[in-house]
Amino acid sequence: MTDAPESVPEVGPVQTRLAEEAESDPNSPTDASPPETEDFGDQEVQAGAGAEQQPGQVDAEPESEPQDFYGWLMRSYSRMREGSPDEAWEAAQKALELGTDEPNLFVHLCQQFTPERRRLLAHAAMQVTPPSHDAFQWLWVEVALSYWYQGNYPEAVAEFETILKQKDLDPRLVGVLENSLGMSLEAADRYQEAEERYLATGNPEAAVRARARSGDVAGALALLEQGIGPAEPGIHLALEATFRGLLGLPIPDLSARLEALEAFEDDWVYNDFMAGVLLVVGKKPEEGASRLERFLEACRVNSNEWGTTLRWEAGIAEEVLRILAGGEEHQAPSDAGLQEQPVPAEPVGSTSSE
């Protein structure tokens, strides 16, 4: 569970696990440079023989050290773009040490790092950010997200739940937190709680999909037939058709539903996954397989994003492709079978409106 209190104190920073985690962080830079080199600012000069200047060689102008927070912030960004994450991390530490009267910049500084470092930096920035400042809450979200990206979904749930208990939350943050908590619950296989969370916070489309991902496709279809689901008619029809296809039920107006999906050309979840399933059901296996393969490729390219919850869809796509490749007659998987769909090798990413 989180070490943060149930409400943000009026004064003083929230106690975090910074010191505890810093001791075990395998990515923390060491204090000393390797013995064979000497470190001069951002230049690493080889010591010993061969270091003398050659005839006609012109000394490079040494890069000046930043003098303030913003300078080190820019140095950190620059080093990360150059592919030097350790130097970017060191520059971020310098920026944090100097501090700023614009703590929102701490949030952006955290986001460029790996989850462990992201969490450490966010914890440290919370220590020097007034709890009354909006940035404090957003930094706390960075802590929760770091657990998500590491696949530690129970800890992510605990952090999001605790943040939502705080008073005077930034209104822009509430929707992000509610949706993030729902997706974290799904990723932790707590589907019923996720569904209840989505319904309570006005996201019926996500609630229906959580029901299906739990393995209860028939129940998800029942929700749609009760009028619970996405407000967008095209998506509602596509979801209904997809669930009917998975259950082996007839799909009326299949061509119209496929046509409706084309409106979501930039959304590979709807346009490729659902269209792929419907094309296979509609006896167009080659075209359907192509769309499902494109969906899985998008999952791989967009890995490490919110779409970890798409493992159900990815499992369906892989199973359909396996059946097609084996030349077996397609049989809709049972609800029990859907619960055990294979998970892709990497977490997958989503651009859906969920």
Q: Which tens digit of pLDDT belongs to each residue from 204-254?
A: 999 999 999 999 999 999 999 999 998 888 889 889 999 998 898 999 888
Highest average pLDDT, of 172-176, 286-290, 340-344, 350-354, comes from 286-290
Beta strands in 9-154 (DSSP E): 37-40, 43-46
Contact call for residues 111 and 141 (beta carbons, < 8 A)? no
State pTM to two decimals. 0.68
Tokens of 162: 């605790």
Q: Which tens digit of pLDDT belongs to each residue from 172-208?
A: 888 889 989 999 999 999 999 999 999 999 999 999 9
Residue-level pLDDT at 121: 95
**Average pLDDT of the chain, as a whole number:** 76
H helices of 10-114, where? 18-24, 69-81, 85-98, 104-111
Domains defined along the chain, listed by start? 204-338 (1.25.40)
pLDDT beyond 50 at 50: no
Give residue 68's Cα distance to chain centre. 32
Q: Which tens digit of pLDDT belongs to each residue from 107-164?
A: 999 999 999 999 999 999 999 999 989 899 999 999 999 998 888 999 999 999 999 9
